[in-house]
A and B are shown apart, each in its own frame.
With several copies, the nearest count.
Chain A
Amino acid sequence: MSTIDIAIQLELHSPGRSFDIDVALNSTSPRTALLGPSGAGKSTVLQAIAGLLPGVRGHVRVDGSTLLDSERGIDLPARERGIGLVFQDYALFPHLDVERNLLYGLRRLGRPLPTGARERVDALLAQFGLDGVRHALPRHLSGGQRQRVALARAIAPGPRLLLLDEPLSALDPDLRIRLRDELAEMLERVRMPTLLVSHDQEDVRALAQAVVRIEHGRVVSA
């Protein structure tokens, strides 16, 4: 059974401003939604879980593996956490076409592509309606196409935890419904624990079994 057990404290600083976050969440549901108003700290929490922020205190445990435990001095670097993250603004590699963006996490420098990798990417391209733009660079894509590439790229390497930051916000209603259902089905099938930020009621309903609300960097209801 998949469990996530997370407690995170951190502060963001910039000249004249700071924002602090103190969030704990604990879920045995396969998929949990993280809700909250704009600027509440949702994206920041996801980045902390993924291991992208320095100076995070607390712990991150996924399915029994400890990825972070500041008290015990454990702090796996992002690359060893095996956490897939869809950035809110995608962060696609601008110099790689769609196919290579998807292959990125499957390929290791100086090693041959693992067997099955290409098939996996082909399947994702088809599923996400990206077949026609397989060889396009990100800057030649529409907003919705970019978002789908970001989603597919994060899923491709089969992470042990998937963090989605508004993964469907740029899609038209038809496509959104289709992808949402396929995503739910796929995540269920491969039992990939997921933490999801979304402002869409329907997304949350279809994709998540539990909901955590945060405001001003604090959990307000679990």
Chain B
Amino acid sequence: MLQPLLLTLQVALLATLIAGALGIGAGHWMARHRFAGQGTLDAILVLPMVLPPTVLGYYLIVLIGRNGPIGRWLDAAFGIQLLFTWQGAVLASAVVGFPLAYKAARAAFEEIDPRLLQAARTLGSSEREVFWRIALPLAKRGIGAGLALTLARCIGEFGATLMVAGNLPGRTQTLSVAIYSAVQAGDDPLALTLTVIVSVLCIVLLVLANRLLQSPRS
């Protein structure tokens, strides 16, 4: 029981990190630019949310499998294989969680009073500095809410993960995949135990994350 727990933590935290970084980047960029077709691009970035995870997983393995365009290249260039590895689980979770981080970050960045960014510029800040020292801290609360959802989703995700990483106990079987497997196998007591563990894990992580994010503003 400890092994899947640790694996779940590792996968979910890494995936949240990746989805978070990309989501914050994309959200910031979309908040600072205006262009034709932006609404459509925004909707496209949310698409991973709208596809059933299993289906998403299916398309992911088509891309990154040994015979997929990306997979072939990864294999040839670096000898990396993602299918049936925990890194593959990270990838699947990150894709599924990305829209959550992105949408929250974009909304948070758009709420920032542009005068504060301007004030920073008159004080000599480059755009990079404005981002790190003003925009990001001010968007912290909204981004935090998004990352909490991302983390929860990454912990709970099993459809895409199962497809990409497989269901290999001790290697790629996360708690959620294990729950799914237990339900399919008719092992209700195990499913219940695992569900309780996942719920507690999630609550603990979210409460901890909240504490960390507690800003002097609140």
Contacts and interface: CB of A to CB of B under 8 A. Distances in A.
Interface of A: 15, 47, 50-52, 77-79, 81-85, 87, 89, 91-95, 104-105, 108-109, 137, 153-154, 157
Contacts of B126: 79, 109
Contacts of A79: 121-126
A77 B118 CA distance: 11
Interface of B: 113, 115-116, 118-126, 128-129, 132-134, 137-138, 215-217
Given A94-B217, A95-B137, A95-B215, A77 B123 contact: no
A153 B126 CA distance: 17
Contact of A52 (B121, B137, B217): B121
B114 to A, nearest CB: 9
Secondary structure dominating the interface of A: loop
A108 B120 CA distance: 11
B216 A95 contact: yes
21 contacts: A50-B122, A52-B118, A52-B122, A78-B118, A78-B121, A79-B124, A82-B124, A91-B119, A94-B116, A94-B217, A95-B137, A95-B216, A95-B217, A104-B120, A104-B123, A108-B129, A109-B129, A109-B133, A137-B217, A154-B122, A157-B124
5 A-B pairs closest in CB distance: A105-B123, A78-B121, A91-B119, A91-B115, A109-B129
A85 B129 contact: no
Nearest to B132: A109
A47 B122 CA distance: 10
Nearest to A97: B216
Contacts of A85: 119, 122
Contacts of B125: 79, 104
A15 B218 CA distance: 12
A77 B120 CA distance: 12
B214 to A, nearest CB: 12
Contacts of B216: 15, 95, 137
Given A89-B115, A95-B216, A108-B129, A84 B121 contact: no
Contacts of B137: 95
A91 B123 contact: no
B113 to A, nearest CB: 8
A108 B124 CA distance: 9
Given A95-B215, A157-B123, 8 more contacts: A78-B118, A79-B123, A81-B122, A94-B116, A94-B138, A95-B138, A109-B126, A154-B122
Contacts of B118: 47, 52, 78, 91
Contacts of A109: 126, 128-129, 132-133
A109 B123 CA distance: 13
Nearest to B128: A109
B137 to A, nearest CB: 5
Contacts of B124: 79, 82, 105, 108, 157
A84 B126 CA distance: 15
A41 B3 CA distance: 60
B134 A93 contact: yes
A104 B124 CA distance: 9
A93 B132 CA distance: 13
Contacts of B215: 95
A92 B132 CA distance: 17
Contacts of B138: 94-95
Contacts of A87: 115, 119
- Which residue, A15, A50, A78, A157, has most C-beta atoms of chain B within 10 A? A78
- Which residue, B113, B119, B129, B215, has most C-beta atoms of chain A within 10 A? B119
B133 A104 contact: yes
A52 B123 CA distance: 12
Contact of B116 (A15, A77, A91): A91
B129 A78 contact: no
A198 to B, nearest CB: 19
- Which residue, A47, A79, A92, A108, has most C-beta atoms of chain B within 10 A? A79
B35 to A, nearest CB: 15
B216 to A, nearest CB: 7
